Amino acid sequence: MSENLNPFNIAQEQLDIAAEIMNLDEPAHAILREPMQTLSMNLPVKMRDGSTEVFEGFRVHYNTARGPAKGGIRFHPKEDINTVKALAAWMTWKCSLANIPFGGGKGGVICDTKKMNEYELENLSRAYIRGLHGFVGPKVDVMAPDVYTNPQIMAWMMDEYSKIAGHDEFGVITGKPVEVWGSEGRFDSTALGGMYILREAAKLQKIDLKTAKIAIQGFGNAGGFAFELAKKLGAKVVAISDSSGGVYSDSGLDYNKLLDAKKQSGELSGVKGVTKISNEELLELDVDVLIPAALENQITEGNADRIKAKMVLELANGPVTPGADRILFERKIPDYPDFLVNSGGVIVSYFEWVQNTQNWYWTEDDVYKKLEGIMVRSFKDVVDMKKRYADAKKSISYRTSAYIIAVDRVAKAMKLRGWY
Ligand code: GLU
């Protein structure tokens, strides 16, 4: 039987595994297997040529026991409700593991931003907010960027929400440009948070980053910045890819050359003087650290046997399936889970929301120090929980360890609030 790649079924299966090991209360398990609320919308948008197109959009509140829903909005041609539900579940675990006062949510619109101009993107962003203004808000659901959305889109969305509210509400959305009260340090915070985990994990696995080779799948907000930051740790990035394919150089790649090629042709595959590889080949390279930083379901039962990296660091959401999890675990390749590794983005989003709420703004240095503190503490929590189970003769993965911590916090909040 082929592997089930429905992201929401995957999120449920991951929860089920943790629930069994931690003996989660049955009602808590039942509540946490499904989102609390799901909104589905048809959004008419005026296009540049005068026509009207109708886009399908979603927003999911997965769980709000620990605070307002929190999570990004994706614009993607292959978006669907099951992916949004899974991403909203993962946001719940991400905020809980980081121990920030939010629940989990996520949104998405089925659209191809590469085929849209700025006028159409702005109209779509505003239509999305008009569709859900009663469903979001600084104390209800705080949105943010994700795949193919960016700070400009956040600014339009904040503006549309504020117009409907009749006053400015900067705290309705995070990841805004700093000129409209985004936070310093938000733009590269996902990658930076991931690099703090890379540093800690490398220490634990005894990988010397000064001689390490790294492969990164994805050249977006997470993968692109991770490239630069990994180099600062002394590591050599030998391969990177975007949706058009990847490039490889055993002596290490030059970030500026890649950026130029991307600017000129829109694709990494236009770079000269390097070996071209496919996204699949990138995953199977003989490197020290593999960082999937693109989309979900990249390491599956189909290729987990061929992964040669000494460790995997999930900077994307959901890149490793449960089938692949089992194979990597058996092969003793440590895999640090998405909602630990990529939590830097939402942690700085939280800082942004705090600053918007207090109207008191921090320096970049303040942000980075606080981010590092939370990332290192979360990493330690996950390592300690895994060790506690090992001491009790139960061997669990880093993912399951992180789930146990995150789910326990949400379940306790639900119990104390009298939800079950
Ligand atoms: N989209 C990012 C994530 O998946 C950030 C979410 C946020 O800042 O709310 O973690």
Calculate how far, in angstroms, residue 270's C-alpha sits from the geometric centre of ligand 1: 30
Q: Which residue among 84, 93, 187, 190 has the greatest number of ligand 1 atoms within 8 angstroms of its CB, and so is best to mutate?
A: 190
What per-residue string of b and e applies to 185-197 under the rule 16 or more CB within 10 Å gives b? Answer: bbbbbbbbbbbbb
The letter for the amino acid at 346 is V
Calculate how far, in angstroms, residue 175's C-alpha sits from the geometric centre of ligand 1: 9
- What SS3 class is residue 369? helix
Mean pLDDT of 331-358: 98
Query: Ligand 1 within 6 A of 146 CB?
Result: yes
Atom of ligand 1 nearest to the CA of 174: 8
Atom of ligand 1 nearest to the CA of 175: 8
The reported pLDDT for the residue numbered 221 is 85
Cα–Cα dist 127/107, whole Å: 13
Alpha helices (H) along 42-111: 81-98
Q: How confident is the model at residue 265 (pLDDT cuts 50, 70, 90)?
A: confident
Query: Ligand 1 within 6 A of 314 CB?
Result: no
> Ligand 1: which residue has its CA nearest to atom 9?
71
Calculate how far, in angstroms, residue 298's C-alpha sits from the geometric centre of ligand 1: 20
What pLDDT digit, counting tens, does each position of 43-87 carry?
999 999 999 999 999 999 999 999 999 999 999 999 999 999 999
Query: Ligand 1 within 6 A of 67 CB?
Result: no
Query: Ligand 1 within 6 A of 74 CB?
Result: no
Calculate how far, in angstroms, residue 68's C-alpha sits from the geometric centre of ligand 1: 14
What pLDDT digit, counting tens, does each position of 121-146 carry?
999 999 999 999 999 999 999 999 99
The reported pLDDT for the residue numbered 271 is 84
267 vs 379, residue with greater confidence: 379
Query: Ligand 1 within 6 A of 317 CB?
Result: yes
Atom of ligand 1 nearest to the CA of 90: 4
Atom of ligand 1 nearest to the CA of 342: 10
Query: Ligand 1 within 6 A of 349 CB?
Result: yes
Calculate how far, in angstroms, residue 381's C-alpha sits from the geometric centre of ligand 1: 21
pTM, full prediction: 0.97
Atom of ligand 1 nearest to the CA of 346: 8
The reported pLDDT for the residue numbered 2 is 87
What pLDDT digit, counting tens, does each position of 191-244 carry?
999 999 999 999 999 999 999 999 999 998 899 999 999 988 999 999 999 988
Query: Ligand 1 within 6 A of 71 CB?
Result: yes
What per-residue string of b and e applies to 19-28 under the rule 16 or more CB within 10 Å gives b? Answer: beebebeeeb
Q: How confident is the model at residue 269 (pLDDT cuts 50, 70, 90)?
A: confident
Instruction: Decide if 413 contacts 234 (C-beta within 8 A).
Output: no
Q: How many CB atoms lie within 10 A of CB 126?
A: 20
Query: Ligand 1 within 6 A of 92 CB?
Result: no
What is the set of domains in the chain, with CATH numbers?
A: 33-169 (3.40.50.10860), 189-336 (3.40.50.720)
**Cα dihedral across residues 152, 268, 117, 121: positive or negative:** negative
Residues involved in catalysis:
106
Query: Ligand 1 within 6 A of 104 CB?
Result: no
Mean pLDDT of 162-176: 98
**H or E stretch covering 202:** helix 189-205
What pLDDT digit, counting tens, does each position of 350-359 carry?
999 999 999 9
Establish how many alpha carbons lie within 13 A of residue 202's alpha carbon, considering only the half-sphere containing its beta carbon: 22
Q: How confident is the model at residue 114 (pLDDT cuts 50, 70, 90)?
A: very high
The reported pLDDT for the residue numbered 268 is 87
Calculate how far, in angstroms, residue 72's C-alpha sits from the geometric centre of ligand 1: 5
What average pLDDT is seen over the chain?
A: 97
